[in-house]
Structures are given as structure tokens and as C-alpha cells.
């Protein structure tokens, strides 16, 4: 049995009772970073074996993990924050388990996408999740595609590239498109900034202290045209 166990996106209390129980009950945990997972385990007084499973080794690790699962091991898969497989390692293992009909259970949990989207004040009945944009090749193409979507779209961005990203969105989407920047969500220094793309660009031009990964929510083209 493979359990997909979501972890908190910031505040360590944002985890289910079931997830906490399984962290201690499974035979071992596949983790993206043992230091990050170690803090979570220490917070809840849990001791368990942690096996590295991240973007640089997942292709090599999958065969050993599948062998353990076939032999009856109960394994927990988790990433540093949020649900495994969402812009994080996990998809390849899940696909392999489905292919071999290995039993899995996916737990619900904290989500940076849904947390940012529902608090943005931007229509969220339909939305498009882009994740991280390409750094170079294909970036302009993706931005142009996103700018024409009728649905709200959601991006992940680093604090080092958020100003560049906003400038590009301003060029593609126009000054009056509404957007929301969510930074350090659920943490002590959580910050949410709402406004038009023009407003956000002006605000961030004065800032040099941005830290933590950012979720950017942007209004869809049709909604903007009607507002």
C-alpha cells in the first residue's frame, strides 16, 4: 500500500489527524528533504525512517520502492509542502503504481493553490493551474496563452522572479487585469496583496524584501472585459 500524505504549506498545525497517525505507522517515508520532514516529525513526536525521493533521484528510486510495495511494505509518500505530485515529485511513482495495480490511498490536505485562490476575491468557480512558468524557452508563448484564457489562472513564482513575471503579465494582459499575490501563506509573515496588475507592479517596485515562494492568482480575460 502506498499512501500519498499531504504536508502543511507553512503552519505545522495544518495537517489531518489521519496524516499524523500514518506518518508514524507506515514502514518508511519517501521524503523530498529529510530536514524539512524531520521538523514536522519532531513537532508531533514521531520517529520513522526517511528515504530520499526527489527530482534528482526519483527515476532511480522507483524500482526499489515498487519492489518493496510488491513485497507488502506500507509506504508514505510526501513532499516538503502540500500534496505530492503537484509541481513536486510523486507523479512517476503514482503512475507506476497504477500501471501495476498496486493499492494506493490519497489523503486530502493543505493546498497552496486552493488557499490562494479562495482568498483572492477573483472568480474561482473555474480556474487553470499553470504552476511554474518556463524560465526561458517557451515562456512568452505560455504567457500569451494564459493571457487569453477566460478562466482565472494560478501561477507559482519565486521571489527573485516575481517582479519580472508581473511586468510580463502587465504587457500581455493589460494594466487593469485583477490579480492577487499570496506570499508565505499560513506562516508568521503571511502577506496577501490585491489589486490590478498595474497596482501590483507599482507596489513591488518599492520592495526589496520579498521572501518565500509566491502564488499568483490572475483574473481571466473574459471576466476582466466584463468588469
- Which domains occur in the chain, in start order? 2-106 (3.40.1010.10), 112-226 (3.30.950.10)
Q: Is the pLDDT of residue 223 over 60?
A: no
Cell of 163: 517582479
Residue with cell 526519483: 58
**pLDDT score of 211 more than 60:** yes
Q: 133 or 212, which is more confident?
A: 133
- CA nearest neighbour of 131 among 188, 91, 98: 91
pLDDT in tens, 10-65: 999 999 999 999 999 999 999 999 999 999 999 999 999 999 999 899 899 999 99
Mean of the per-residue pLDDT values of the chain: 94
Residue range 107-132, pLDDT digits in tens = 999 999 999 999 999 999 999 999 99
Amino acid 206: pLDDT: 86
- Using a pLDDT cut of 70, give the percent of the chain over it: 98
Q: What share of the chain is helix, strand, coil (3-state, %, to 5)?
A: 35, 20, 40
Comparing C-alpha atoms, which of 54, 7, 6 is closest to residue 30? 54
How much is the pTM? 0.89
CA-to-CA dists, residue 9 to 20, 73, 83, 176, 213, angstroms: 15, 27, 9, 30, 10
Q: What pLDDT sits at residue 227?
A: 42
Label residue 209 by pLDDT band (50, 70, 90).
Answer: confident
Amino acid at each position: 500500500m502506498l499512501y500519498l500524505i499531504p504536508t502543511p504549506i507553512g503552519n505545522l498545525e495544518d495537517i489531518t489527524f489521519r496524516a499524523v497517525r500514518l506518518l508514524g505507522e507506515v514502514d518508511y517515508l519517501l521524503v523530498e528533504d529529510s530536514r524539512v520532514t524531520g521538523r514536522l516529525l519532531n513537532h508531533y513526536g514521531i520517529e520513522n525512517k526517511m528515504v530520499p525521493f526527489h527530482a534528482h533521484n526519483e527515476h532511480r528510486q522507483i524500482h526499489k520502492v515498487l519492489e518493496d510495495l510488491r513485497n507488502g511494505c506500507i509506504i508514505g509518500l510526501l513532499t516538503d509542502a502540500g500534496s505530492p505530485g503537484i509541481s513536486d515529485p510523486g507523479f512517476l511513482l503514482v503512475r507506476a503504481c497504477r500501471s501495476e495495480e498496486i493499492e494506493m490511498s490519497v489523503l486530502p490536505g493543505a493546498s497552496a493553490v486552493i488557499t490562494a485562490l479562495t482568498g483572492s476575491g477573483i472568480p474561482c468557480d473555474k480556474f487553470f493551474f499553470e504552476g511554474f512558468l518556463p524560465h526561458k524557452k517557451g515562456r512568452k508563448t505560455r504567457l500569451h496563452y494564459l493571457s487569453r484564457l477566460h478562466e482565472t489562472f494560478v501561477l507559482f513564482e519565486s521571489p527573485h522572479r516575481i517582479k519580472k513575471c508581473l511586468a510580463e503579465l502587465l504587457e500581455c494582459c493589460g494594466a487593469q487585469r485583477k490579480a492577487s499575490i499570496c506570499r508565505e501563506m499560513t506562516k508568521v509573515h503571511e502577506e496577501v496583496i490585491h489589486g490590478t496588475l498595474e497596482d501590483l507592479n507599482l507596489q513591488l517596485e518599492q520592495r526589496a524584501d520579498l521572501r518565500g515562494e509566491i502564488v499568483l492568482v490572475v483574473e481571466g480575460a473574459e471576466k476582466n472585459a466584463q468588469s
